[in-house]
Amino acid sequence: MKIHTRIKDIYSLEDVIKRREKDHEFKILLDKARLRVAIARQIKIAREKAGLTQSELADAIGISQPMIGRLEGLKDKRLPSIELLVKIASITRRKLVVNQAGFHLELACM
């Protein structure tokens, strides 16, 4: 019986997040993390659809390949600048669309 009680008391990650979203500071951090994930996906998708490697994109922008890797891999906790995103959209000739709660960004430099 004790095992059933313990399992019943275990919450899913989704449940924990829903409960914590009521905390304003936690919600801000969660929204920022979700935004970083959405931007990282758009950068990677644009680069791959343009047929570019991380090194080729980095060279075209004038930054290092590890920086592109950090942007795509979420290792950098900072959000990229709009200027950098515009350069990526321009070089890849792809539209970058980021749609998150309360935030919509659409860049197209074709």
Reported as a single tens digit per residue, the pLDDT across 33-89 is: 888 999 999 999 999 999 999 999 999 999 999 999 999 988 777 889 989 999 999
Q: What confidence tier does 16 reach under pLDDT thresholds 50, 70, 90?
A: low
d(CA 9, CA 26): 22
What's the confidence (pLDDT) of residue 84?
Answer: 93
What's the confidence (pLDDT) of residue 54?
Answer: 97
Range ranked top by mean pLDDT from 27-31, 41-45, 74-78, 103-107:
41-45
Full DSSP string of 28-91: HHHHHHHHHHHHHHHHHHHHHHTT--HHHHHHHHTS-HHHHHHHHHT---SPPPHHHHHHHHHH
What's the confidence (pLDDT) of residue 41?
Answer: 92
Q: Between these two residues, 28 and 68, which has the higher pLDDT value? A: 68
Residue 1, pLDDT above cutoff 50 = no
Task: For residue 41, give its domain range.
Answer: 2-107
What's the confidence (pLDDT) of residue 72?
Answer: 93
Domain count, the chain: 1
CATH label of the domain that carries residue 42: 1.10.260.40
